[in-house]
Structure 1
């Protein structure tokens, strides 16, 4: 889901610091490159150390049959569902948990996650009212009419805010299934006035509503190997943890409404006119969007307000949720999309009111098609038969259907920002089909696994839509302002959804940027893309956790990335690497080597400086006979020397000369005449390690580039140096020239060879004499045997 920027500043809540264990915190090394083994959960038969599902992996399943009745006059919804829940876990379940998300709209049933409040300087008539104490019921939220087993016997249940526990008359054992039924109703809120994901929008100009029916039925919670029941309350922010299943849903709506929903409609023949049905069938083979319900038909329907009813029937298999939309205002267009990777023929479709016609008719369905094709290239082939975009003045995602914004001015014109925002949100919300609708992470706990991964692939998709597309999230430079914030305004990415202050940057932008840095700067596209596809394939239609992603990316690429996960995901340090100093040295080609005279004495017996307890006890042990004492042939000169049986003058002084260099010949002097050495000292001011990327510009206008991996910091996390030798004069050095590391202060990333703040020195150059080194061979020094004139 996309949140508007204005919402970010309003979402102020307490931050939660994620665990970031360091075993060597007092040192300047060994912390940032420490492995995550003590932080990540222990691998087991369900989730392996490689990041793949284990041989014991399991997940439960829920199949739904639902009937719904939309009352437009009362703006209410009545529903009845039969749920078949399959317990594939190894555990016996005494109770089950379901989500009642509409209770978040209730004044008395909501999750009760308050925000701090202060006096306002401006108030409007809608909000200035006497505080209700105690709080009065606003009439919203789920009303449960009946909860029974398959035979109609009542089941005991308890509602705790947005969660519902059903207590079972007997334990649901491994391999068994439970069939139960729930009847319910609720008043549909005005989502424009009240906010939220589902509800109605009223158009006073023509007196019609546009309904988005989402989180509308009691939905099974996830029971998993890593958490048990995921029954954290729904506060309106942290989204959903859901199980896969098959859905058969019938929606009874006013006869002049058009309905779009998750999956495929099974009775178009009964609900569409003959002309509309003909156009739909033609669109199934069209390469350009065809209007199935035309603009003129939608305008006529706006005036009809039929009192007749029609029932639309939809089916969807292997999905984790079901959402739908209904309105007489809809124009509807569609076209086919072929996914080459699995030869899947998909219907890409859009639903939109006339207010959005000038934008949606041109862009929406083609953006849907582009999205599922591009995501299929980077993840897994799109597996479903339908992908739909609905213009509903918001942004939210569900399997095979999503709700987006994008309306023109009354004269049909639109701004470039509206156009780009619309295309971006369509790509984002359609992209959610992959994350988390298929690669089904726990959004309630880890928003970044849903929003962050999806925003990253959204960025790749926007780039392939238009090379000039003004993406706001993904490029490293776009995260800098967030990374500059004071530490008390930040929390790690690995923070629960409800406890994040700046939700957009933390859950969307920072993880997306991190993945882009991995792809472009650290791993390279080939390694990254293959590893990312491996993760997507491994966890399609399953429930991955963060460790599964981290481990798979390393397992499939052969790259040790623990330093990156630790810094970027578990920490709040920014990147700020500075060029501290540049020292220039030129060669002294006329230097004459001097032989060095080394004075020394012969080595004394090599013995431990202290007789330890083990040596004392071994010597006293009468059962131990030492090998050298048994075999007299092993008792050489040094056996006796160590025991004082050989006398050597260890005070006598000897000397030898070190003479392994010679002067350069004229050819070498000419070869090295123009070379200069440049030592560049770097300081890690921000704390987060990153590769060091340099652009060298020379006085002749040429350029060279170099990149040192982040591992250059492994022995000193605060400062490092690099020395380069060039045979042409260096004019300047630019650190991170393409702004690809999210460095928050680029003012310290540049050095110019203008004679200021630069140290100059000389280094002598000699020619190495030919010689070799043999380990364990002669050192050239007199040894004790030679001094004693002994040979054994």
Structure 2
């Protein structure tokens, strides 16, 4: 008879046994993973069940006319603007809300308490006047209230629904922030300061069917803006070059006859044409006058924003962009002389031309007449028709940033998702389309794309993303952009957002179904505001798949993926009858995978294991016909899936 163990020891042993059993027990529950998926936004008459705009869909519109003057000595930008706002909604609007992003740089701004990076503080906007013009053309001052980075205008009479229109006149000024690495700045170069001017005029907030006025403050996440036409002019000293969104409509006033001739030649040239050479930067003859100021006049249609760069230091070159259906546009780069050269910005227009042509062929034609790279201190920042890229970048890094930033023309400049709330719908989608462009450029000169935009540590992307999924602190993709810390901004919004589309295309739907659905999504929502629910529903409807399990695991949660081979044995004890392979799903994310059997003669056989396998099982016996002995079975042999533990993916047979 054995002596009884002490009670506390029995309890300890039971606790250890329970813990060991729990550790070995799969976390996967089919009822959790395959439960009906609840979309963030409901179906209604405005947004249909197939992810398309509904029969009563509406969207408001904001058209702008802006006149601005830049004083480079004081860094003061002064402007007057007229906003024509059209209310297509079914609601009467008694107030308007505008974005005042320059107030982000005030020391008491909300964003000053959230940003992990130092900011040069300014006094923000100085609003001189706000007036409203009625249908008869009479203008009157109105009450307005500034709250952090927003301004409320209280209308004297409610703006009528379904077509009501109002004109708002605003006079404003602000001091351009210095070189601190933000989204706009002034930074030095050998031949003069470079001004990168964005978020520079009061802009209408979006009023939509999802939230009414979307007035999320500007902390550091990006933008959500209405579409419209822009007519704007920028007055600068005579010796400065201005590169702005849209098309320059008065070249005869601001360019020399030689520069006009060179621009015309560039419109017909696949090779880069110099508009203003490095040698001409310090030559006063490269300007049409030698004193006073010049006013540069631009127009841009069907856009949500405009930005510009200005400097006396700009070298300028250009080339033709070849678009589908015989259309063309113009690629241009402006940069200081110290950035010139074939290893650096001397190829910038080549990179811009190639990436714009690729994205236009593959997904949707570039819609505007000009695409511009501007070199400055911003490491990479996008606006419609113009990008601010690092002036010190060269070679692969320069190609990468140019392709990525101009790729934002598609997401979110054409497909106008809400960046301020859903960063993955612009950064993730754009990083995804970058991958193909990198492979296509100049026969793969810089391919494959394995850089900080896609695989942060330069390794296998699937293994890299598995590290993000394994991090218990990593937020889900559906987490708000402002609630995602800088630590996770790239790994989640960019990398996981992009890899989700890679999985959809390469593993779940296949390229043919995915590409067709994704192109249609872009065309359907061009110049409109899709929500995450619209994207989810659209891809399901067009591709013909119920993907609720994927939206839940990849987007709503940060679930891990772990499948394992548990057993390999001959059917009925005889290899000539085939093999029975027991596979198990150990964690909450499911994905289709490939099971590869290797036989004793070195041959292999692949079997696709679909996600439906796991709707009712946590483990499953896959029966594979064959006549030879199996020596090993492996899941995901290409290492294309984000496996949490690859050690249990392969089982060798004695």
Q: TM-score, normalised by structure 1?
A: 0.74
Shift of residue 330, structure 1, vs aligned partner: 1.0
Q: Distance in 2 between matches of 1:703 and 1:185?
A: 70
* Structure 1 range deviating more: 361-370 or 107-116: 107-116
Residue equivalent to 2:408: 432
Corresponding position: 1:234 with 2:222: no
Q: Distance in 1 between matches of 2:482 and 2:284?
A: 42
Secondary structure of 2:529 counterpart: coil
Q: 2:175 aligns with which of 187, 195, 200?
A: 187
State how 1:292-691 maps to structure 2 within 5 Å: 292-300=275-283, 308-340=292-324, 342-358=325-341, 359-393=343-377, 394-407=379-392, 418-465=394-441, 466-467=443-444, 468-472=447-451, 473=453, 477-478=460-461, 480-485=463-468, 487-501=471-485, 502-585=488-571, 587=573, 675-691=576-592
Residue equivalent to 1:84: 84
Task: Summarize deviations over 1:344-397 as a string: whole Å, max 9, x none.
Answer: 211111111112212454432122222222222332222211111112232111
Residue equivalent to 1:71: 71
Shift of residue 405, structure 1, vs aligned partner: 1.9
Residue equivalent to 1:171: 158
Secondary structure of 1:488 counterpart: coil
Task: Summarize deviations over 1:616-661 as a string: whole Å, max 9, x none.
Answer: xxxxxxxxxxxxxxxxxxxxxxxxxxxxxxxxxxxxxxxxxxxxxx
Shift of residue 243, structure 1, vs aligned partner: 0.4
Q: Distance in 2 between matches of 1:522 and 1:352?
A: 43
Task: Summarize deviations over 1:241-294 as a string: whole Å, max 9, x none.
Answer: 100111111100111111111100011111111211111111111111101111
Q: Distance in 2 between matches of 1:143 and 1:526?
A: 53
Q: Distance in 2 between matches of 1:527 and 1:198?
A: 40
Residue equivalent to 1:726: 626
Secondary structure of 1:568 counterpart: helix
Question: Does the CA contact (< 8 Å) of 2:34 and 2:615 recur in 1?
Answer: yes
Task: Summarize deviations over 1:558-582 as a string: whole Å, max 9, x none.
Answer: 1121111111111111212122332
How many matched pairs? Answer: 611
Q: Distance in 2 between matches of 1:395 and 1:732?
A: 48
Distance 1:495 1:53, change over 3 A: same
Higher helix fraction (1 or 2):
2
Residue equivalent to 2:188: 202
Distance 1:353 1:556, change over 3 A: same
Q: Distance in 2 between matches of 1:492 and 1:95?
A: 35
Q: Distance in 1 between matches of 2:416 and 2:643?
A: 33
Secondary structure of 1:434 counterpart: helix
Secondary structure of 1:31 counterpart: helix
Question: Does the CA contact (< 8 Å) of 1:479 and 1:510 recur in 2?
Answer: no
Secondary structure of 2:411 counterpart: coil
Q: Distance in 2 between matches of 1:116 and 1:73?
A: 30
* Structure 1 range deviating more: 144-153 or 78-87: 144-153
Q: Distance in 2 between matches of 1:172 and 1:81?
A: 20
Task: Summarize deviations over 1:174-220 as a string: whole Å, max 9, x none.
Answer: 11111111111111111x3x3310111123x44x1101100000000
Question: Does the CA contact (< 8 Å) of 1:432 and 1:454 recur in 2?
Answer: yes
Task: Summarize deviations over 1:727-784 as a string: whole Å, max 9, x none.
Answer: 123232221111211213222222222x2xxxxxxxxxxxxxxxxxxxxxxxxxxxxx
Distance 1:303 1:264, change over 3 A: closer
Gaps of 5+ in 1: 1-24, 118-125, 128-136, 409-417, 589-673, 756-792
Q: 2:643 aligns with which of 727, 743, 748?
A: 743
Q: Distance in 2 between matches of 1:139 and 1:30?
A: 54
Distance 1:27 1:265, change over 3 A: closer
Residue equivalent to 1:646: none
Q: 2:145 aligns with which of 158, 170, 183?
A: 158
Question: Does the CA contact (< 8 Å) of 2:40 and 2:533 recur in 1?
Answer: yes
Question: Does the CA contact (< 8 Å) of 1:474 and 1:516 recur in 2?
Answer: no
Shift of residue 47, structure 1, vs aligned partner: 0.4
Secondary structure of 2:216 counterpart: coil
Question: Does the CA contact (< 8 Å) of 2:304 and 2:384 recur in 1?
Answer: yes
Residue equivalent to 1:789: none
Q: Distance in 1 between matches of 2:509 and 2:525?
A: 22
Q: Distance in 2 between matches of 1:447 and 1:307?
A: 45
Question: Does the CA contact (< 8 Å) of 1:431 and 1:454 recur in 2?
Answer: yes
Secondary structure of 1:322 counterpart: coil
Q: Distance in 2 between matches of 1:702 and 1:176?
A: 72
Corresponding position: 1:29 with 2:30: yes
Q: 1:225 aligns with which of 191, 203, 209?
A: 209
Superposition CA RMSD, Å: 2.5
Secondary structure of 1:494 counterpart: coil
Residue equivalent to 2:104: 104
Q: Distance in 2 between matches of 1:586 and 1:479?
A: 37
Residue equivalent to 1:285: 268
Shift of residue 152, structure 1, vs aligned partner: 4.0
Q: Distance in 1 between matches of 2:541 and 2:314?
A: 48
Q: Distance in 2 between matches of 1:361 and 1:215?
A: 25
Residue equivalent to 1:631: none
Question: Does the CA contact (< 8 Å) of 1:698 and 1:728 recur in 2?
Answer: yes
Residue equivalent to 2:12: none
Q: Distance in 2 between matches of 1:53 and 1:39?
A: 16
Q: Distance in 1 between matches of 2:637 and 2:285?
A: 56
Question: Does the CA contact (< 8 Å) of 1:140 and 1:189 recur in 2?
Answer: no
Shift of residue 425, structure 1, vs aligned partner: 1.1
